[in-house]
Amino acid sequence: MLLGVLVCSTLAAVKITTDRLLYQNATSAARDWGQYLAASVSDLEQIAAGQQPSTASMAFFKATGNSGHVFRYVIFNRNGYSQLVSDHGKVAFYDMSEFNQDAARSVQLGQPVVDAKAGDASADEPSFFATAYVPVMLNRQPIAIVAAYIDQTEQRDDVYKAFLFAAIFLCLTTGLSFVIPMIAWLRRTREKQQADRRIRFLAYHDVLTGLANRAQFIEKMESAVAAAALPGGGIAVHFIDLDHFKEINDRLGHDAGDFLLKTIGERLCAATRIEDTVARLGGDEFVVIQTHVDRKEQAEELAGRLAPALRSPINFNDNEIVAT
């Protein structure tokens, strides 16, 4: 969530900064254009007042009809009424002046009024342009208002790409500062969970065979004894003690003894039901709690399966071990 807020705020900052730079660029370009008109057109005040431009001024308008990024400009009188328009080099006069609120407001504020927007291709407009209404001052008095239409497509794309690249880099850098500690935290949490599971497992299981240990056997035994009072809740307890286990360790080594214990545990589990409990009490001693025993024959039948399973030879490193 924090990363999402950061990305959104960064993109918002990019847009605000881009709009601000475009506003400043449009204002500067329009102000320069207005000053250029005021210096080049000697009868600008008369044109703004509704008079026809002189021959020299008309030649200037035609020569500068499409100057740089300014593709259109309009001259207003100081009250905000349009008098002359130059659009892509075509100069025209307004037979009936139209009032423009932004032009009038620029005089009231004493500063340019700028509006940027996407263009209409069908109207032969750039994909993005700004309109800046700039009051032309003479002796600190407004004599005219020049509205410059400035193509800002290239500037907008360049600025936006530059800031977008910087924003992406910032987001990636900040994201890494979040992600790296988060990965470390998740890894540490996972390791702790695994360690906790291992601790819980070892608390109730034998390390070598994975069978229930003495602690779990006692709990299972208490539960089985309590359930034995119910109908069908009888139990049988089978104790298994391996013969000559020490001799096997001495003759073949402790690896052979460990392999024998694990194999015996696997065979006991294979010969019992899932609801029965197979435990290793320690050393070479095992025990099986058989539940739901109604008759002595059931216990005898399980014991009859366990003994042959345990007596089957066990092969270890080309040695045959027979456990009795």
Query: Residues near 296 by Cβ (< 8 Å), separated by ≥ 6?
Result: none
Q: Identify the CA nearest to 220 among candidates 271, 262, 298, 279.
A: 279
8 Å CB contact between 124 and 115: no
Tokens standing for residue 78: 């100081």
What is the pLDDT confidence band of residue 1, given thresholds at 50, 70 and 90? low
Q: Domain map of the chain by residue range? A: 2-158, 214-321
| Structure confidence by residue, pLDDT tens digits, 270-304 | 999 999 999 999 889 999 999 888 889 999 999 99
Half-sphere exposure of 4 (CA within 13 A, CB side): 1
User: What does the pLDDT average to over 59-72?
Assistant: 72
d(CA 10, CA 115): 24
Return the number of other C-beta atoms located less than 10 Å from residue 101's C-beta. Answer: 10
Q: What does the alpha-carbon distance between residue 208 and residue 258 come to, in Å, rounded to a whole number?
A: 7
Measured between alpha carbons, how far is 40 from 242 in angstroms, rounded to an integer?
116
- Residue 102 CA, distance from chain mean position: 44
Query: Was domain 214-321 assigned CATH 3.50.50.60?
Result: no
Q: Mapping DSSP to helix (H, G, I), strand (E, B) and coil, where does residue 75 land?
A: strand
| Per-residue model confidence as pLDDT tens digits over 239-272 | 999 988 888 888 888 999 999 999 999 999 999 9
DSSP string, 227-283: HTTSTT---EEEEEE-TTHHHHHHHH-HHHHHHHHHHHHHHHHHHS-TTSEEEEEET
Q: At what angle do helices 296-311 and 254-271 cross, to 10 degrees?
A: 140
pLDDT digits (tens, 9 = 90+) for 203-236: 889 989 999 999 999 999 999 898 887 777 789 9
205 contacts 212 by C-beta, under 8 angstroms: yes
d(CA 308, CA 322): 11
Task: Return the SS3 of 324.
Answer: coil
188-202 per-position pLDDT tens digit: 888 888 887 878 877
Query: First vs last Cα of the chain: how many Å apart?
Result: 65
| 2-158 classified as CATH 3.30.450.20 | yes
Question: Which sign does the torsion angle of CA 182, 183, 184, 186 carry?
Answer: positive
Distances (CA, A) of 238 to 51, 86, 290, 303, 307: 121, 108, 8, 7, 11
Phi/psi of residue 167, each to 5°?
A: -65, -40
**Is residue 52 a contact partner of residue 79, using CB atoms and an 8 Å limit?**
no
Sole residue written with tokens 């100057």: 67
307/59: higher pLDDT: 307
Q: Kindly report, residue by residue over 83-108, the tens digit of the pLDDT.
A: 888 887 787 876 667 889 988 998 88
Task: Report the 10 Å Cβ neighbour count for 239.
Answer: 9
Task: Write out the two tokens for 168.
Answer: 């992406």
Burial class of residue 124 (count of CB atoms within 10 Å of its CB; 0-12, 13-18, 19+): exposed
Q: How is residue 32 written in tokens?
A: 């320069």
Confidence (pTM): 0.46
